[in-house]
Chain A
Amino acid sequence: MNLDENLFRRESGRMVTALTRVFGLDNLALAEDVAQDAFCRALEVWKIRGVPENPSAWLMTTAKNRAIDLLRRERTARNLVPELGRLLESEWTLVPTLNEFFGENAIKDDQLRMMFSCCDPRLSEQAQIALTLNLLCGFTINEIASAFFSTRSAIEKRLSRGKHVLATSKRLFDLADREFSTRLSAVRRALYLLFNEGYHGASAESAVRVELCREAMRLAALLLEHPLAATPATYALCALMWLHAARLPARLDAAGNLSSLLDQDRSLWDAGLIAKGQEFLELSASGSEVSEYHVEAAIASLHSNAARAEDTDWKSIVSMYDTLMILRPSPVVALNRAIAVAQVEGPERGLEEIRAIADNDRLATYPFYSAALGELELRRGEHDSARRHFQAALALARNPMERQYLALRVERSCVNRA
Chain B
Amino acid sequence: MNEGVYWRGERHMGATFAEKLLAKYGKQDSVEPGQIVTVQPDHLLTHDNTAAIIQKIESELQTYGICDPSFSLIVLDHVIPAASEKTATNHLRIREFVKEFGIQHFYDVGEGVCHQLVVEKGHATPGSLLVGSDSHTCSYGAVGAFATGIDRTEAASLLLTGETWLKVPVSIQMRLKEKLSKGVTPKDIILSIIGDISASGATYCSVEFHGDVQQFTIEDRFTIANMGVEMGAKNAVFPADEVTEKYLKTLGLKNKMDTSCNPDPDACYDQIITYDISDMEPVVACPHTVDNVKPVQEVTSIEIQQCLLGTCTNGRLSDLHQAASLLKGKTIHPSVRFLVIPASRSVYLDAVEQGVIDILSKAGAVILPPGCGPCLGAHQGVLAPGERCLSTANRNFKGRMGCKEAEIYLASPLTVAASALTGHITDPREMI
Q: Do A and B bind each other?
A: no
State the A residues within 8 Å of B (CB). Answer: none
State the B residues within 8 Å of A (CB). Answer: none
